[in-house]
Structure 1
């Protein structure tokens, strides 16, 4: 059985139009090699739903679909300071008891918290409302800087466009990197941003010639993962000192050059493991880890499983003896 097939996005009155669009873009996508999800927008009573933009959405399903879905996404809504009604909270609890995955996008985390589903867990939300979430629900450990936090059955994410990171992480976790990367490419998005990455940057990156050089270096790094990539070499290519490069890199990406390169290498290794029969040693060489032992250590630390186990779970190649 696939990890999850039916996806229900809960849209209360005042739901975020952007958030609804993000969920639909990821889980209603169609194309070769992509999972075939049964995506539905649901609300308390089927029909038109006013959004935060004033434009209506049509939700064809009610709370019965919410309680029965494999994945439930609680969308942000304008009146999130008022908890959802008992019927919604019961439907969320029923989904949890049945083993469904639950994801709270932005202030959609407040709905999960109101249902008691975040008690004893770490969670995040839009940084602007993290203190309110912590004050309202002291049993929740709120981490305001994270893009998303994966607690197994329950996942929460930051505001606005970070919903893409949340949804792509879920897709990557359950269906593998190739599916997530395919959708990310179609949407012209980064294939993966780590959940611990900062939600926002304290100062914007000035638009000048150094930005162009930084972008060129990032493109070069993506195309040369098999080569050694010390920070000093990246700084040299950007025509900056190592210290200036590290500072500017952090301002532009919210992370360090070393962490960014490691994440890129693991992501590329995932895709090669899923879509090729290359030996693990060769995968390690192609992504710049040098040996299967180093690749294995990074995989276990970052993905929780060794490369061969990952390949068995997510390979997109035909199984031996399988028929077309």
Structure 2
């Protein structure tokens, strides 16, 4: 399998290095299992073939220029995977993201050409912005680091996002979420696809990473609210957070705020992207996660603390929304459990 790692100024150098190291480990495991030839071969390519300076300040040398990888490779485009880089600006303001995408238009054009020739294109983390800019994600949900999702939705309102899946293979488009394990998970996926699940498991053991990673939504469960300028909605959010343990009427909340129920729902959705009820559910789950992380309260007690008298109903909601049980979440994220272990 030929992988072209696309390099740009201010890209994620850690992602590139992690991909290379994961492929080296995969080749090692394949060789130890009796493989005759490496599973992976790779090339590092920049637009002009010159070294680039990632945002971590550690230079990366390119093996060739991207146009060379596009036209001169002895390997057909249909057998090449191009991995587009993550961009640091994607965690910044939307106007800075637009500036970065404008600067990266030569890369976008070359990636489009590779795809049009039948090649496979992959992204990890905020590389999804480049795929969207290239017009390659129109039919597919985009995966990225949860912190960049709001900006992505603002810049590409017609595209869908997926915060519940760690990796998605759409055939000739592969998307992985962000974080330090995204490179490993991408390589493990290719090992399973090109060789076997058994070999992928052996590579995962060698790298000491989970073969099936935690759902990305779990990492974002306790994030703070996004800022906005609607004072009335901010007050409504505060009232909802104060009453998580109570039965709450949205009609009653609207009356307290001296606006109509319809007006509250409309303004709430404009400011937060959520309905008041969906926001209330999110905050109840957030509070439950905080209690699981920082207390030893039972699941039944936690359910009651966030307004659910029926523990089984809350357990089902928790697993559906976060992709794991309450016990799994506590084992995974509680510093108290980690210290005890």
- TM-score category, normalised to shorter length: 0.5 to 0.7
Q: Paired residue for 1:273?
A: none
Q: Relative to 1, partners in 2 of residues 1:53 and 1:154: Cα closer, same or farther, differing over 3 Å?
A: same
Contact 1:19–1:160 (8 Å) recurs in 2: no
| Residue 130 of structure 1: how far off its partner (Å) | 0.8
Distance in structure 2 (CA, Å) of the matches to 1:58 and 1:208: 48
CA offsets 1:3-54 (integer angstroms, 9 cap, x no match)? xx11011121011122112211222343214643211111112232111211
CA distance in 2, matches of 1:124, 1:251: 25
1:157 matches 2:176: yes
Equivalent-residue separation in structure 2 for 1:160 and 1:166 (angstroms): 12
Counterpart of 2:138 (choices 119, 131, 137) is: 119
Choose which of 119, 122, 125 in structure 2 pairs with 1:100: 119
Whether 2:211 is the aligned partner of 1:191: answer: yes
Match of 1:10 among 6, 13, 36: 6
- For the residue of structure 2 that corresponds to 1:9, the secondary structure is strand
Selected match of 1:135 from 148, 154, 165: 154
Alignment counterpart, residue 15 of structure 2, candidates 12, 16, 19: 19
SS in 2 for 1:15: coil
**The 10-residue stretch of structure 1 (187-196 or 8-17) with the greater mean CA deviation from structure 2:** 187-196
**1:18-97 maps to which residues of 2 (within 5 A)?**
18-29=14-25, 30-31=27-28, 32=31, 33=33, 35-64=38-67, 66-67=69-70, 68=77, 70-80=80-90, 81=97, 82-83=100-101, 84-97=103-116
Q: Deviations over 1:119-157 (max 9, x none)?
A: 121111110111111221233211234322222211212
1:102 and 1:153 in contact (8 A); partners too: yes
CA distance in 1, matches of 2:294, 2:16: 31
- Report which stretch shifted further, 139-148 or 48-57: 139-148
2:259 is the counterpart of 1:249: no
Say which is worse superposed, 51-60 or 34-43, in terms of deviation.
Answer: 34-43
> Normalising to structure 2: TM-score of the pair?
0.56
Q: Work out whether residues 104 and 155 of structure 1, in 8 Å CA contact, stay in contact via their aligned partners in 2.
A: yes
Aligned to 1:268: none
- Structure 1 residues without counterparts, runs of 5 or longer: 210-244, 255-324
TM-score (normalised: structure 1): 0.59
Query: Which runs of no fewer than 5 residues in structure 2 stay unpaired?
Result: 71-76, 91-96, 223-288, 297-323, 334-341
The answer for the alignment partner of 1:110 in structure 2 is 129
Of Structure 1 and Structure 2, which has the larger fraction of its residues in helix?
2
CA distances 1:139-195 after superposition (whole Å, capped 9, x unpaired): 321123432222221121211223122332233233221232222122111123377
SS of residue matched to 1:104: strand
